[in-house]
Amino acid sequence: MSVAAQNQLAPVSSFAGTLIDILDRVEYRRVQPSDLEDQVYKLRYDAYRRESFIPFNSLGLLRDEFDDFDLYPNSWNFGVYIDGTLASSLRIHHVTAEHPRSPANTLFADVLKPLLEQGATFVDPTRFTVDFEMSLAYPALPFLTLRLAVMATRYFRATYGLHCVRPEHGAFYKRVLSSSLMCEAREYPGVGFPMELWGTRAQEVYEKTLRRYPFFDSTDEERRQIFAPPYEMPIWVHPSVRAAMDEVDY
């Protein structure tokens, strides 16, 4: 997660009402692999430049090898839109023995490889970035973005949801997603800050997480629309949690 995104993580009590208010105005879009200049990559560039983590480039885009769908067919980029405007983005890798490569499994291979060999699978969300002005207007935006990672964990039936985050933000993942520290902080080349590895044992905590935070819930159809092939087809998907949230008394 970028610093820009992490700095906007607000307490649940302060964003729940805002999230309910904007839910019907939110759409998720999967980036087509062939579109190398998608605005998601510009949003990412702007976020990292704002924190001075990358040098200037004339294209104003930030892509890396893990965005290459030909090399990483287990990788997808997503944009989160509010009223048709790009507000945040997230990249997700589904890590398996067949497709083991991902950012987390590059930096923490000694931790994750033995688990893969035992049959574990992972959802690895990275490049979590938000539009600065949108984040000020919508404090719930990071949670709407993280919802994609929760949905991916459910869709792919992953053993773990992984989170490579700055040390000061590990407590958030422990509190909200019941994550545990899997490895102390390490420097990732080209990122500009150290990252810890946190993991959520999905099957053990999924139902508890949904009871506490029902906005993470989703339908089978929504997950299928977002994560199922063919990946060259454009998709725009509305969240499917309105009924669940309407039943919760905040």
Given a cut of 50, the residues of the chain with pLDDT beneath it are 1, 3-4, 6-8, 10-13, 248-250
pLDDT value of position 17:
57
Q: What is the pLDDT of residues 113-152, one digit of tens each?
A: 999 999 999 999 999 999 999 999 888 888 999 999 999 9
Domain 3-246 has CATH 3.90.1150.10: no
Distance CA 59, CA 223 (A): 33
What is the C-alpha to C-alpha distance for residues 82 and 141, in angstroms, rounded to an integer? Answer: 9
pLDDT at 222 (0 to 100): 92
Give the global pTM.
0.87
